[in-house]
Structure 1
Amino acid sequence: MIRLLLRVLGREYAQPMRRTVALMTTTAVVEGLSYALLVPVLRALFGSTPADAWSWLIAFGAAVVVYAVLRYISSLSGFRVGTTLLRGMYHRLGDHLARLSIGWYNARRVGEVSILASRGLLRAMGVAAHLLGPLISAAVTPLTIVGVMLAFNWQLGLAALVAAPIVAAIQVWAGRAMSASDAERHERDEEAAGRVVEYLQAQPVLRAGGRTVERFRLLDDSLREVQRTARRQALSALPGVVGMTLAVQAVFTVLLVLGAYLALGGNVGTAEVLTILVLAARCADPLLSLAEFGAKLRGARSELARLDAVLRTEPLPEPCEPVLPQRHDLEFESVAFRHGDRVVVDNVSLSVPEGQRLAVVGPSGAGKSTLLQLLARFYDVDAGAVRVGGVDVRDVDTEALMSRIAIVFQDVYLFDGTIEENVRLGRPDADEAEVRAAASAARLDEVVERLPGGWATNVGEGGALLSGGERQRVSIARALLKNAPIVLLDEVTAALDPVNEAAVHAGIERLMAGRTVVMVAHRMRTVRRADRVVFLDGGRIVEEGGHDDLLRRRGRYADFWQIATAPVVTEGRSGAPARP
């Protein structure tokens, strides 16, 4: 457990944890040794000169004071280390997640990481603050007391020592019996949490279907499984608790019988037997508490194991000797990329001269957006090479690569903050005039003027308080402020109304001016302004060339263009087709 914790913490935080463990161990040993002073106290009390017990009682009181001070210092150290580790681990986990490949993330992992970063990390790092001290005390103090008993009477001490492997075996057996139910409980809890979110998100559909008073069957089934798993978990914990109690009681009974036998035989005095029984009783409490700590430790260990698995996931490798591109032309050379078992990009070769625009069109699932993600090195290719300025993106430092690329996606995510803060993400050190100029070029100033809070308007989590077109304008302003020489556009106007589409197109034109551009588009008015068009299907380039040239060929692109530009036909009241 401690070894796993130290591995998760890493070198930076492992040393403070080792010092805390050493301090807690010392405290537990001092506690056990302090009970050794009970031997002369009881001898004096049951002997011929009871007054001699005062000096030993004073010594025992002094030992208790030393133990109390050490316990306070070790507990305080545990709390301080726990809070420091929690803050540090949030930073370490965040930095590591930021370096992982985008391909590592999927719906399941995002849910796992969200739970791990909230409840899981608190539970795992709470080990130092809340569990480590009592755990060490429950294990070390009884062993120290057994050492005292061995020094006092080897027969009774040896009988007490026999309890150590028995208790350890019961703990291991109980842990193995509980591990399966713990894993099942975690899985059921995650599933139930997902079903609750799904139920809340499905409210519009349920209400539209007139099912507002009906139960959501999937959620009900999930909650029933949680209940059944909790019951099985409780039942599987009983043998370990009962076994531990019986073992401790059995050892105490053996000591009592053995002590009585030795006392009757004259090998040990009554005071010594009472002392052994007092020490044995003092061992019983921490040993019985091990069963209580077992469930908490297993839960913390499972969170630590999940955290360790995330931290040991290898990020995309950084170049040992990074190269800085001097140009901004783009090139794909025999690029192949697989996502799972599916071939997304298959032997693609193309180039984009510096300052020109390439439009990538094709049906859904053709691999268009993946090309942009490979350019930004969200993934590494399986074969071939992606180059920026003649340099393989794998040989460019990630920060240097991203400083040369501005990306505008169809689905814009804004952070919970003001409009100005979200725009400044493009270049945090920009002055106010530059921010306002970028906003004006993206026609974001029109949005800011009609909002009551102006630039200080909060956009909400994910930009939920703004419309899709308004979020897109913020994204374009952010890209304009970044002023990167390479621009990647991913269907930025696919879901906008005509007014916002016109505004966004105006901003996009300013963003593309004088830059190397790769755009994924369905709207043909965007494609017509490209210097070259690539038609992608099934991860392969089917056609490429100029817009007019591709239309004259009457191939796949011409068919795509005809469908995209055909007028919408609606049906009139009489049933006859009518053009709007």
Structure 2
Amino acid sequence: MNSYLYQISGGKPKSLLPSIGAALLDGLVKIFPAILIVDVFNTVFELFAKESATLDTTRLWAVSAFLLGWLVIQYAASLLAYNTSFISSYKVSAFGRIELAEHLRKLPLGYISSKNPAELTNMMINDFAEVEKAISHTVPQFISGLLFPILAFIGLLFVNWKMAIAMFIALPVACIVLWATNRFQDSLSSKQVIAKNRAGSMLQEYISGIREIKAHQLGGERFQRLRQAFEDLMRESIRLETLIGPIVMIAIILIRSGMTLMIFTGTYLMIDGQLTLPIFLMFLLVGLRVFEPMTVTLVNYAEIRYGSFSAKRIMDLRSEKPQKGDDTIKNIENISFEDVTFSYKPDQPVIKNVTFDIPAKKITALVGPSGSGKSTITKLIARFWDIDSGVIRAGGKALVDINPENLLSHISMVFQEVYLFKATIYHNIQVGNPQASREDIIEAAKKANCHDFITALPHGYDTLVGEGGSTLSGGEKQRISIARALLKDADIILLDEATASLDPESEADIQRALNRLIENKTVVMIAHRLQTIRNAHQIIVLNNGSVSEKGTHETLLAQEGLYAKLWHLQNEAGNWQLK
């Protein structure tokens, strides 16, 4: 239970204390009127039990007035429990989502890439919804429902121990039933959670690939996979409800049998003269108050077992270690790879014992066949992953020792696939430097050759773009990406074939913008069209994850190696035409 409370509260179990305390107070406040009602009944009972007795109207009026005033206290306690529980749950889940998103941002990109996006989305939305429900309802009601009968049992032992034992004797049996079926409940819950995540994943895949599905008429096949995922979810959900439900009902019946046993015991004791009617009535009234929260506790126990999977998934992600590094650098003079090996999967190296230098304020181009490791090298420079062996240095310091946030502050990236946020163009450019003024943003846009098309839009810089930049063309998105990089003004520029998929007019505009971007910067660019890198200061040719050649354009052509072969093949392809 301690482990669960730790997980469900995001590692802060003390945050649950206010809601648990308020729920317990609410339960105690509700039982007090039952004691006073017994006192009223006892006062009236004495009038008939004793011939010389007179009705104590003063006492009755006092108790009635107290009960009336107690309604206000009871309302206040219920309101406190309600507000405290929901405020605590909303705070924990809201801050928990923010903290988890921040933690996710600091994890290696390799870890994030290994996860299904739908799984992470379900965790951020659905799992936290389960946590929110647990904090606001399940846990406070469970703990208060557990403590309340214990306190009532202890108090009733002093009144009549036989009646107290009769009332609660079935409680241990019900607990044993639930404990004995823990593994069975966990198995059902885990299968339902897996089915729910798979259904979410299939739905996201179907929506994301709807264009390809329609274009290739894959609707039947892909929809069948989606249908199967939802049918599996339906089947596991029904199994969860129909198989766990009877277990909980058995436990509830056992609990409520204590009321029947108490009535039989009380009747016997009254006949035997060991119990008075007022005391018997008090046990009945207290029993009605006690068995209700006990029943809720049993139901909540099953929900707690289910919610524990959501809490554990969240805590497992939180336990993932972010990239380390405490050193900071003011500027990056150069970058060096020293015998670097890296693999995305164990024993499948993508980069093998690579060694080379990237000089400061020079242009270094990476070329080679597809899958040779070009994009991987740029991602290793940005430390999206940590290497298996060897050393990458930036400004003379090993990347593993540099704070990742500090390292990325010195790097700007312009990739072939540009992602724009669902926000205004102004805010998408401002991503490069959140502290930049509007004048700085407009100036960056002008240098990136995108000011003219932005001002031609109906709302100019305040135009809202679709998610991913879907309302803009490829060239427009690319120029906004360059404007971001210009605004950031970083030491290192990483370019991944930024003009490969553009029309000639857009390519010319972007090439002019790139020339402004890379001026006096250390540039690492990936190029498939070798014509664009003829003037690079250094060209590194990669093949099967290793450096096969290195030099200038003229030097590599003279070597008549892989670079020269690629150059001649592209020239031949450039002369190709339809016949």
In structure 2, the residue matched to 1:379 is: 385
Identify if the C-alpha distance between structure 1 residues 19 and 230 changes in structure 2 by more than 3 Å, giving closer, same or farther. closer
Q: Distance in 1 between matches of 2:219 and 2:438?
A: 50
Identify if the C-alpha distance between structure 1 residues 409 and 442 changes in structure 2 by more than 3 Å, giving closer, same or farther. same
Q: Which moved more, 1:369-378 or 1:131-140?
A: 131-140
Q: Distance in 2 between matches of 1:515 and 1:133?
A: 59
In structure 2, the residue matched to 1:40 is: 39
In structure 1, the residue matched to 2:431 is: 425
Q: Any conservation in 2 of the 1:33–1:145 contact (CA below 8 Å)?
A: no
In structure 2, the residue matched to 1:129 is: 136
Q: Distance in 2 between matches of 1:305 and 1:216?
A: 32
Deviations 1:351-395 (A, max 9, x none): 111111111112222221121111111122221211111111222
Correspondent of 1:100 among 83, 100, 107: 107
Q: Any conservation in 2 of the 1:75–1:133 contact (CA below 8 Å)?
A: no
Q: Any conservation in 2 of the 1:326–1:389 contact (CA below 8 Å)?
A: yes
Q: Distance in 2 between matches of 1:38 and 1:503?
A: 87
Q: Distance in 2 between matches of 1:370 and 1:214?
A: 34
Identify if the C-alpha distance between structure 1 residues 187 and 389 changes in structure 2 by more than 3 Å, giving closer, same or farther. same
Q: Distance in 2 between matches of 1:387 and 1:128?
A: 47
1:525 aligns with 2:504: no
In structure 2, the residue matched to 1:453 is: 459
Q: Which moved more, 1:505-514 or 1:136-145?
A: 136-145
User: Pairwise mapping of residues 147-296 of structure 1 onto structure 2 (< 5 A)?
Assistant: 147-208=154-215, 216-296=223-303
Instruction: For residue 426 of structure 1, give the secondary structure of its aligned residue in structure 2.
Output: coil
In structure 1, the residue matched to 2:443 is: 437
Number of aligned positions between the proteins: 570
In structure 1, the residue matched to 2:18 is: 19
**Identical pairs, percent:** 28
Instruction: For residue 290 of structure 1, give the secondary structure of its aligned residue in structure 2.
Output: helix
Deviations 1:263-285 (A, max 9, x none): 22211123322322332233222
Identify if the C-alpha distance between structure 1 residues 202 and 6 changes in structure 2 by more than 3 Å, giving closer, same or farther. closer
Instruction: For residue 359 of structure 1, give the secondary structure of its aligned residue in structure 2.
Output: strand
Q: Partner amino acid for 1:400?
A: N
Q: Which moved more, 1:523-532 or 1:139-148?
A: 139-148
Deviations 1:93-113 (A, max 9, x none): 122111111111126342222
In structure 2, the residue matched to 1:394 is: 400
Q: Distance in 2 between matches of 1:4 and 1:377?
A: 35
Identify if the C-alpha distance between structure 1 residues 62 and 459 changes in structure 2 by more than 3 Å, giving closer, same or farther. same
Q: Distance in 2 between matches of 1:209 and 1:536?
A: 35
Identify if the C-alpha distance between structure 1 residues 348 and 306 changes in structure 2 by more than 3 Å, giving closer, same or farther. same
Q: Partner amino acid for 1:333?
A: E
Q: Partner amino acid for 1:402?
A: L
Q: Distance in 2 between matches of 1:38 and 1:485?
A: 80
Q: Distance in 1 between matches of 2:102 and 2:224?
A: 40
CA displacement at 1:3 relative to structure 2: 4.9
Q: Distance in 1 between matches of 2:39 and 2:184?
A: 44
Correspondent of 1:506 among 508, 512, 517: 512
CA displacement at 1:332 relative to structure 2: 0.9
Instruction: For residue 428 of structure 1, give the secondary structure of its aligned residue in structure 2.
Output: coil
In structure 1, the residue matched to 2:342 is: 337
In structure 1, the residue matched to 2:468 is: 462
In structure 1, the residue matched to 2:358 is: 352
CA displacement at 1:223 relative to structure 2: 2.3
Q: Any conservation in 1 of the 2:10–2:96 contact (CA below 8 Å)?
A: no
Correspondent of 1:146 among 147, 150, 153: 153
Q: Distance in 1 between matches of 2:542 and 2:54?
A: 98
Structure 1 stretches lacking a partner, 5+ long: 573-577
Deviations 1:446-500 (A, max 9, x none): 3214423221221111111111221111111110111111111112122222222
Deviations 1:232-280 (A, max 9, x none): 1122123213212320232222212222222222111233223223322
User: Pairwise mapping of residues 10-89 of structure 1 onto structure 2 (< 5 A)?
Assistant: 14-32=13-31, 34-48=33-47, 51-52=55-56, 54=60, 55-56=62-63, 58-59=65-66, 65-89=72-96
CA displacement at 1:5 relative to structure 2: 4.1
Q: Distance in 1 between matches of 2:556 and 2:223?
A: 52
CA displacement at 1:30 relative to structure 2: 4.0
Q: Distance in 2 between matches of 1:426 and 1:273?
A: 76
Identify if the C-alpha distance between structure 1 residues 377 and 294 changes in structure 2 by more than 3 Å, giving closer, same or farther. same
Q: Partner amino acid for 1:512?
A: I
Identify if the C-alpha distance between structure 1 residues 537 and 41 changes in structure 2 by more than 3 Å, giving closer, same or farther. farther
Identify if the C-alpha distance between structure 1 residues 299 and 565 changes in structure 2 by more than 3 Å, giving closer, same or farther. farther
CA displacement at 1:209 relative to structure 2: 5.0
Q: Distance in 2 between matches of 1:107 and 1:387?
A: 26
CA displacement at 1:299 relative to structure 2: 3.8
Q: Distance in 1 between matches of 2:292 and 2:112?
A: 47
Q: Partner amino acid for 1:43?
A: N
CA displacement at 1:14 relative to structure 2: 4.9
1:546 aligns with 2:552: yes
